Amino acid sequence: MFPMDIPFKAIVFDFDGLIVETEEPIFESYSAIFAEFGLELTLKVWANVIGGTGHRDVLFDYLELQLGRKVNREMIRERARNHHHNDTGKLPAREGVVDLIVEASELGLQLGIASSSTFPWVKGHLDRLGLSKYFSVMCTREDVELSKPDPALYLLAVSKLDVLPNQVFAIEDSPNGVKAAQAAGIRCIAVPNPVTKSMDISHADILVNSLAEINLDEIFRLLRTAS
């Protein structure tokens, strides 16, 4: 039975860059390809891609605009995918993530995923880390027409968890992710990673450097204060 004194019934987590630091290898793989074209992929450009809709289409639009010609998008995707898959296949969970997941589960909170990545990618990493068993809901980009910053993924996760938006909080790492959660009426904690720490996530309800710095009691207290 759910503890009556806990103000939330569920947590919805982003995946890439939050549970596992996959964002930096992905950014680096595309940066290397941009360099082959004699171009620099800046974090300002990447901020429009990370956690967002279109699966890199914004990135390719920018690349083609700079080059003044079309590129083989699928070939570039495949090259980048092969590069970062090799780099991410053995990455651990980010600091503090597993402890928070276990703590939340032991308290009786339901846990869900709302990710702009594919289901095999997310499920594969969670299986590898032994974390799949904690998540009753996994919503990925195949499940919605529009991904983040559109709220569809979060609205779907809330529906599947059978809770109200005000009974959930989200944990994100990117501006697009925070916007998506808040557009769904969900309060959001931002935990930036090495790629997103230079981006503006000040619109988050709470901003922390690492989940290792905070426990659920502190999160509940801060969200009460922020509401």
- Catalytic residue annotation: 14, 16
Q: By CB neighbour count within 10 A (0-12 exposed, 13-18 middle, 19+ buried), where does 90 fall?
A: exposed
* Residue 9 CB neighbours (<10 A): 17
DSSP 3-state assignment of 113? Answer: strand
Rg of the chain (C-alpha set) = 18
CA–CA–CA angle 151, 95, 134 (5° rounding): 60
In this structure, what token pair is assigned to residue 99? 């402890």
Cβ-proximal residues to 192 (8 Å cutoff; 6+ apart), any chain: 173, 174, 199, 201, 207, 209
Distance of CA 224 to the CA centre of its chain: 23
Cα separation values, 14 from 96, 105, 127, Å = 15, 17, 16
Q: Which residue has the tokens 């968890």?
A: 161
Instruction: Report whether the peptide linkage leading into residue 149 is cis, meaning its omega lies within 30 degrees of zero.
Output: yes
